[in-house]
Amino acid sequence: VADTEELNQTRHTHTDADNEMDLYYEFIVGSGIPEEVTVTGYLTGKNDNLEVLGYDWVSETWKQIGTLEGKAQSTDEVNAYAMFVNMVGSGTDEGKVRVRFTDGAFTLSTATLAIDQIFVSFSVGVEGYAGGAIFIDTTITNTNTVVGIDGTARNPVSTIAAANTLSASTNLNKFEVAPGSSITFAASQENQVFRGDNWTLALGGRSISGSHIIGANVTGICTGASHPRFEHCHFGAVTLTPSDNEGCVLEGTVTAGSAGDFFFERCQSGVAGILTPIFDFGSGLGASDVNFRDYSGGIEIKNMGRNAGNYNMSLEGNGQLIIASDCSATSTIAIRGNFTITDNAAGAVTLSNEAMFDHNAIIDSILEDTETTIPAAESITDAKIDTLQDDMDDVVTGDKPVVDGTVTQAEALKAVLAFIAGIAGGGGGNEITFKNQAGDKNVITLSGLDANGNRTSTTLDFS
Rounded mean pLDDT for each run of 10 residues along the chain, 463 residues in total: 88 92 94 93 91 97 95 93 94 92 92 95 80 96 91 93 97 97 98 98 98 99 98 98 98 97 98 97 94 98 94 97 96 96 96 72 64 67 72 61 74 81 76 84 81 80 79
pLDDT value, residue 417: 83
The tens digit of pLDDT for each residue in 106-141 reads: 999 889 999 999 999 998 766 678 899 999 999 999
pTM of the entire predicted model: 0.65
- Residue type present at position 159: T
The tens digit of pLDDT for each residue in 374-393 reads: 666 667 777 777 777 766 66
